[in-house]
Copies of this chain bind each other. A is one copy, B any other.
Amino acid sequence: MGELAAALAATAEAVTSELDRLLPVGDGLESRLHQAMRYASLNGGKRLRPFLVVNSARLFNVSESAALHVAAALEMIHCYSLVHDDLPAMDDDDVRRGQATCHRQFDEATAILAGDALLTRAFEVLASPRTHSDPAVRCELVRELAAAAGGYGMVGGQMVDLLAAENAHLMDVAAITRLQQLKTGKLFGFACEAGAILGKASNRLRLALRAYAHDLGLAFQIADDLLDAEGRDEEVGKRLRKDDDAGKATFVSLLGPERARSQARMLAEQAAAHLDAFQEKADLLRQAAWFVVERRT
């Protein structure tokens, strides 16, 4: 196993234990809700966003325990967004990460509530003293995550995505780039900036990480479109080619697979270049930029 694969596996394991600890099953009838929250978040996944939190935090010698706490909160947001996006009224998906989606395993009402509760719990976790001894740091994390995840961030991006098919004439490369920047880019941005916030980094280093995250997020999304166009359902663990079926424009449909692939590689290179100031300390983050482009799932 390469250095990056080992680091990804270690973070995935650590953040999964952290989530396990942070999402206990209560008593009473509501334990069904807690089971659904755990089902939706303890089910594997690449844990790429936690990896970015942990490794950007390392650049500033932030304690591993604080970074994992923030990483778990961020992953709760990511997992809630998948649960809600998979609902019948949205993307209507039956399979996620190779298993039944939350509303298929439980039911729609439980899935809606499990998403709501994961989203809420994320902010409770971030605001708790274990995140950082300085409450000003915790408040900044709450504000930044809410801004990245809310109506002017990820949720706004999901709204645009739902309207994209019927507004196909508007969806050129610039519009798709903006959509993806909202839908996935902003959470990637938070993942990388969180390390800088925890480490009280200078504005210059924080901006460098944001620029890295911006390019990484876009490269990730183009690679996703390529996988969607060329991958096999069983390997990727979710239903593929639904954008195509829905008549939605993607980077691949607009640029063609060749130009899309070279664009993703160019972005990965550019992402890595933003990390120059961190020298060899940022090697894992540089490798992650290549990984998101070359991944097969």
Residues A109 and B128 in contact, CB atoms below 8 Å apart: no
- Tell me the bound Cα distance from A33 to B135 in angstroms: 32
Which residues 18-62 in A have Cβ within 8 Å of B in the complex?
26, 28-30, 32-34, 37
A138 within 8 A of B: yes
Q: Which A residues fall within an 8 A CB radius of B? A: 26, 28-30, 32-34, 37, 80, 84, 87, 89-90, 107-110, 112-121, 123-124, 126-128, 134-136, 138-140, 142-143, 146-147, 149-152, 155-160, 162-164, 167, 170, 178, 182
Interface centre among A26, A30, A160 (most CB of B within 10 A): A30
Residues A112 and B112 in contact, CB atoms below 8 Å apart: yes
A117: which of B80, B109, B151 is its contact (CB, 8 Å)?
Answer: B151
Residues B29 and A151 in contact, CB atoms below 8 Å apart: no
Smallest CB separation, A52 vs chain B (Å): 20
Question: Provided the pairs A124-B146, A135-B138, A142-B142 are in contact, do residues A151 and B33 lie with their beta carbons within 8 angstroms?
Answer: yes
Residues B159 and A146 in contact, CB atoms below 8 Å apart: no
A121: which of B37, B138, B150 is its contact (CB, 8 Å)?
Answer: B150
Question: Provided the pairs A139-B127, A143-B127 are in contact, do residues A178 and B116 lie with their beta carbons within 8 angstroms?
Answer: no
Residues B117 and A156 in contact, CB atoms below 8 Å apart: yes
- Tell me the bound Cα distance from A150 to B113 in angstroms: 9
A151: which of B30, B140, B146, B150 is its contact (CB, 8 Å)?
Answer: B30
